[in-house]
Amino acid sequence: MNILMLGNNGFVGSVVQEKIKQNNNVYVVNENFDVTEKNETFNMLNRYVKEKNITCIINCIAMANLDDCEKEKELCKKINLEFVKCLCDFSVNKKIYLIHISSNAVYDGNNAPYSETDIKNPVNYYGKCKAEADDYINNKASNFAIVRPITIYGSKNKNDRHNPVTYFVEKLINNESIKLVDDNIVNMVHVKDFADAVSFIIDNKLTGEFNISGDVSESRYDLGVRICNVLDIDLSLIEKVSGKDFIMLAERPNNTSFNNSKMKIELKIKPRSLDRTIMDVGCEYRNK
């Protein structure tokens, strides 16, 4: 397929791009663009679609920091909802297969584990925009896949945002103490498992919604304990706290863990070992 990849320089987009390049012609936008500039963005997308004969678009663009989204609601809405709606209309109009990346933030965290058919009930503004975008695509398009990752972990490039594993490992290896919440539970997914899922969906032209997660459902505190045990780090560096002890702009759902049966059966993804990745990330940071 001739695929146009949007958001290819983000944490998720960069790994997805590497994976799907194996079986497809993948194009990225070479010039700087800002999706809040609607006319310029869609003129440019139109040009790429024509010139490269694009048959599939993958949208990994998002304003993904929950607290920033709560603080700058208008900007969040433009990037995470308005742009997605226009991209959906554009794809339907041009008969392009749309792959859109959603989020576990569409769920309220009170009824885990969540499968694809469960009700969305977001508790923060980021989640509200992501949920509304998913519903819009579901109602307007037929040739689409909404791929919904839970919190994603894995090695990161220098300029990528930290994920829980890289952040905690770096702090703990530098002997810094950290407070970790015992609520906010997820079964995190490795970024390469997520990329494998997207690649399988594209190769088999699957449509619908897919919840993508790992197998280990645990709190940030339990993850910290796991990291200390795997990397032989002093457990006294971590302190168990509650999310209620932090003042955060965006409310965090309690437990958004996924039921990943559809991912395992239909996409044949077997989640990578979390401990193995912790060891690899630990080696990277110890060798710095």
Q: How many other C-beta atoms lie within 10 A of the C-beta of residue 180?
A: 19
User: What is the distance between the alpha carbons of residues 121 and 128, in angstroms, rounded to a whole number?
Assistant: 8
Distance CA(110)–CA(114), nearest Å, equals: 10
Fill in the per-residue mask, 31 to 60: x = in contact with ligand NAP (CB under 6 A), - = not in contact: --xxxx-----------------------x
Site for ligand NAP contains 16 (CB under 6 A): no
Q: Which of 3, 4, 5, 7 binds ligand NAP (CB under 6 A)?
A: 7
Ranges of beta strands (E only) in 116-214 are 144-149, 152-153, 178-181, 189-190, 208-212
Q: Determine which residue in the list 4, 101, 145, 223 makes contact with ligand NAP, applying CB under 6 A.
A: 101
Stretch that binds ligand NAP, among 115-123, 147-155, 243-251, 265-273 (CB under 6 A): 147-155
Q: Which helix (H) or strand (E) holds 167?
A: helix 164-173
What do you get for the CA distance between the two ends of the chain, in Å?
39
Q: Which of 3, 5, 11, 197 binds ligand NAP (CB under 6 A)?
A: 11
Number of residues that bind ligand NAP (CB under 6 A): 25
Q: Contact 212/193 with Cβ under 8 angstroms?
A: yes
Cβ atoms 80, 69 nearer than 8 A: yes
The DSSP call for residue 79 is I
Phi, psi angle pair for 239, to nearest 5°: -125, 135
* The amino acid at 150: I
Q: Is residue 152 at the binding interface for ligand NAP, with CB under 6 A as the rule? A: yes
The residue within the footprint of ligand NAP, chosen from 17, 24, 91, 103 (CB under 6 A), is 103
Q: How far is the CB of 169 from ligand NAP (least distance, A)?
A: 16
Kindly state whether residue 187 participates in binding ligand NAP, applying the rule CB under 6 A. Answer: no
List the x/- string, 55-94, binding to ligand NAP by CB under 6 A. -----xxxxx--------------x---------------
- The structure tokens listed for 43 are 């003129």
Note whether 234 binds ligand NAP by CB under 6 A: no
Applying CB under 6 A, which residues contact ligand NAP? 7, 9-13, 33-36, 60-64, 79, 101, 103-104, 149, 151-152, 160-161, 163
